Amino acid sequence: MELKLIKYDEHNLKSIDLGDGLKIDRNNISLIAGPCSVESKDQILEVAEFLNKLNIKIMRGGAFKPRTSPYSFQGLGFEGLKYLREAGDKYKLKIVSEIIDPRDVETAHDYVDIYQIGSRNMQNFSLLKEIGASDKPVLLKRGMNATISEWLMAAEYIALEGNDNIILCERGIRTFEDYTRNTLDLTAVAVAKELSRLPVIVDPSHGTGRRELVIPMSKTAAVLADGLIVEMHKNPDEAVSDGFQSLDFNQTKKLVDEIKKINDCIRY
């Protein structure tokens, strides 16, 4: 496997500069949190205020939702992106949101700070190329059925268009194990850090699909990964999507406290 643009070079490790002194790289553990879906303006403002209090600097929220069933909530679309931007500006948070259609990339540019490419779209080559031609950082999730090399090759598609501000995200893969929604492949994190010069983060929410496993797997991943992206909700049981794997506000605070301890001990 030949990786031209993002191949490992320890002297040239990639630091993703989000502006305002905020960087995602191998020097610390970045925390990204927020709901699976943007549900309303009030919800997003309340979450943003809470994240700001916790000193979390990056908020996630899905406005375009790639749902298994066409009858499930599909997201608020650009309306949702507007709420995210407004809340991000008010509470000084950077915004990550998934784009699923190459035709939306340009319009979304003004609303997001990081484009998310979801697991189901990891090999949507037109989307990879369109986002690769933009100047915004990209969070590239690993396809649930993708090998590590396919994942890295997807990153190459983006980089080849000129944008190598890529954050790799391991979010679990499908295996025979069905107690958890996916099998969180932490080995892939070590491999991706070995083969590429990109920061690699972990999504323990989709990686496990179980709320009670999110903190334990976050702590485990924090030793190796460069960041975490975690789903949270004020009332997880009422969330329109992925409530079963979302932390509530208290659990989110606990997560932050635990990760801080690990960060202090690993990256001293």
204 near ligand PEP, judged by CB under 6 A: no
170 binds, among ligand PEP, Mn ion, none (CB under 5 to 8 A by kind): none
Minimum distance of ligand PEP from residue 159's CB (angstroms): 20
Nearer to ligand PEP, 130 or 203 (CB): 203
x/- string (CB under 6 A) for ligand PEP, residues 131-160?
----------x-------------------
Contact pick of 14, 85, 181, 206 for ligand PEP (by CB under 6 A): 206
Nearer to Mn ion, 6 or 117 (CB): 117
Measured CA angle at 190 (ends 121, 150), to 5 deg: 30
Nearer to ligand PEP, 118 or 199 (CB): 118
x/- string (CB under 6 A) for ligand PEP, residues 32-71?
----x-------------------------x---x-----
Near ligand PEP in 217-256, by CB under 6 A:
none
Minimum distance of ligand PEP from residue 267's CB (angstroms): 26
Residue number with the shortest CB distance to Mn ion?
36
171 near ligand PEP, judged by CB under 6 A: yes
Interface residues toward ligand PEP, by CB under 6 A: 36, 62, 66, 118-120, 141, 171, 203, 206
